A and B are shown apart, each in its own frame.
Chain A
Amino acid sequence: MTAKPGWKQLKEGDILEAGTSQKFTTADWRSERPIFHKERCIDCKLCWVYCPDSSILLDENKKVCGIDLEHCKGCGICSFECPVKPEKAITMQNEHK
């Protein structure tokens, strides 16, 4: 592992390139993970709209294709909002299972 830059190397005023959150996992405190069931998905994108962490992945045709588990903190909003019945297209599962 390379040493972190010290204060002399940091830019003044904490000015960074945009999009730094992509390099930083916000998922390591997750206790429940969403499981995406492709066969049940109707591609309404409500999960994508509601996700507070932009963690719903879309494929090249802009169809829901999975979950970014590096940034998903497991809030479960996607599963809660999923309108598919009787079983939702995104279900939550305990991380320890």
Chain B
Amino acid sequence: MRYLMMSHPTGEPTNPNLEAEMGAWIEELTAAGVLLSAGGMAPTGIEVSESDGEVTVTDGPFAEAKESVAGFALVEVRSEEEVVEIARRFVKMVGNSRSVIQRVFT
């Protein structure tokens, strides 16, 4: 089962060693064969929407920080419980963070 984990900041990260720990976390999950792809994302974005035939293109930044995605991880796991455990460790490591997990159909 494949899942996309999207990480949303909910405040300032509380972990001073975040960079090093994040590196180790990615390394460990890759070694375990769980992590297929991951990346950090720019805080601003562009929104393209359609309504009643009208397409609108809006430049970021987003009105609310919680709408922006700071990073993503695409993982391949045995079960939903496994991806929740991985996300649990991730938000614990980052601090002030919210992860949204959605299954990717393959």
Answer yes or no: do A and B interact: no
Chain B interface (Cβ < 8 Å from any Cβ of A): none
Chain A interface (Cβ < 8 Å from any Cβ of B): none
